[in-house]
Structure 1
Amino acid sequence: MTHGDVDVSKREAVFEGFFKVERLSLRHRLFRGDWSPVFQRELFIRPDATCVLPYDPDRDEVVLIEQFRAGALGREQAPWLLELVAGIHDKDEDPVEVARREAEEEAGLTLGEVEPVLSYLVSPGGSDEFVHLYCGRVDAAGAGGIHGLDEENEDIRVHVMPAQQAIDLIGTTRVNNAAALITLQWFAAHRSALRQKWLGQ
């Protein structure tokens, strides 16, 4: 199946605020060969995003950030989450440049080498959001404090921790968002090779 096996007959904006929602009227080819009836789907529209795990191979430390997330309201956990540095792309912006910009804005860090992890669709049943994941080399000495842009209502606390402590957060409620879990799992598997690559050991 390809894009040619989908026929979108109508696309209309049903909400436009901080985010955007569109309603699609469409049909698609079925596995048996004929076409589905026309049906509707609401789609959460969001630009691509990039997330990066800052890692200091010399100190074997990682940097995570903590901030308020409205999507966690109503859950048993507090709505302040430990996350990766992350940001939404401006039009035609390169993912690595987003990683570098957001590392400065959200954590006061300058990225050196950047290692790609993977890219994925966040929730394709209802959103077109696509996320790029990276691990970026930093000097974590002196990292910390409160960061973020006032005009974006950001209030971000920076946490520096030993790499193994961050890995041990996998499977806990302290880190339970997809981008951080995926990247920390990747980091756990590639940490030794990454240190060897970046330190030349």
Structure 2
Amino acid sequence: MSDKPAPFQFSEKDVRIENRETLYDGFFGMERLRLSHARFAGGYTETFDREMFVRGDATCVLPYDPQRDEVVLLEQFRPGALGRDQSPWLLELVAGMNEAGESPEDVAHREAEEEAGLEFRRLERICSYLVSPGGTTEMVSLYCGHVSTEGAGGLYGIEAEHEDIRAHVMAADEALRMIADGRINNAAAIIALQWLTLQRARLQEEWV
């Protein structure tokens, strides 16, 4: 029998939060936590401070047409990509923030229409993941959505929200090449497209 310790021996009960301070409360938020937590070797850490970006959860969907073996990716400006050796216009998935009372599936259908003029025939959950838990609270629910790419593509977005989106239809293989050469370098798109490489044959049989 292995004497290796199992992972996940701790829970939220093993974190002692002494103080929670709101530093900023706008469209996003920023908090400072003063805390200590259990140590693997026993006991607790010294008390320390951590700033945390408080952001709501989001839903992202890869639109896929199994008959044409094509995907729809959205190109739009992202200020977080400024200052890099690349264009700040990224190729991404259909995505949106989860509003109060909405399920991730609700968000997927709403954003598909707003951002790409698409209607999902069905959705398949890929996973949920924490975006960057060392500094932000955001959790992403990730899906693949069954669409027809016939007539898809074009310009979309809500002007009042400063959205300017171009929807691109491309072969799934071309999108995968864009991961390999670095043209697609955002987490949700990479995860979803790599999932698609494992599931394409099944989806082409089931999504008819």
TM-score w.r.t. the length of structure 1 is 0.96
The AA in structure 2 aligned to 1:77 is Q
Q: Is residue 2:204 matched to residue 1:191?
A: no
Q: Is residue 2:13 matched to residue 1:14?
A: no
Partner of 2:56: 47
The AA in structure 2 aligned to 1:29 is A
Q: Is the 8 A contact 1:170 1:185 kept in 2?
A: no
The AA in structure 1 aligned to 2:23 is V
Deviates more, 1:31-40 or 1:95-104: 31-40
Select which of 145, 153, 170 maps to 2:162: 153
Partner of 2:134: 125
For residues 38-187 of structure 1, the aligned pairs below 5 Å read 38-187=47-196
In the TM superposition, residue 147 of structure 1 has moved relative to its aligned partner by: 0.4
Structure 1: distance between partners of 2:155 and 2:25: 31
Structure 2: distance between partners of 1:58 and 1:113: 14
Structure 2: distance between partners of 1:87 and 1:26: 32
Q: How many residues align?
A: 199
In the TM superposition, residue 92 of structure 1 has moved relative to its aligned partner by: 3.6
In the TM superposition, residue 77 of structure 1 has moved relative to its aligned partner by: 0.4
The AA in structure 2 aligned to 1:119 is S
Could you tell me which runs of 5 or more consecutive residues in structure 2 were left unpaired when the two chains were aligned.
1-9
| Structure 1 residue ranges (4+ consecutive) displaced by more than 4 angstroms after TM superposition | none
1:56-104 Cα offsets, whole Å, 9 max, x none, are: 1122211000000000000010100000010010024211111111101
Structure 2: distance between partners of 1:14 and 1:117: 34
The AA in structure 2 aligned to 1:93 is E
1:40-61 Cα offsets, whole Å, 9 max, x none, are: 1000111111100001112221
The AA in structure 2 aligned to 1:52 is V
The AA in structure 2 aligned to 1:46 is R
Structure 2: distance between partners of 1:173 and 1:76: 11
Tell me the secondary structure at the aligned position of residue 182 of structure 2.
coil
**Percent identity of the aligned residues?**
56
Tell me the secondary structure at the aligned position of residue 11 of structure 1.
strand
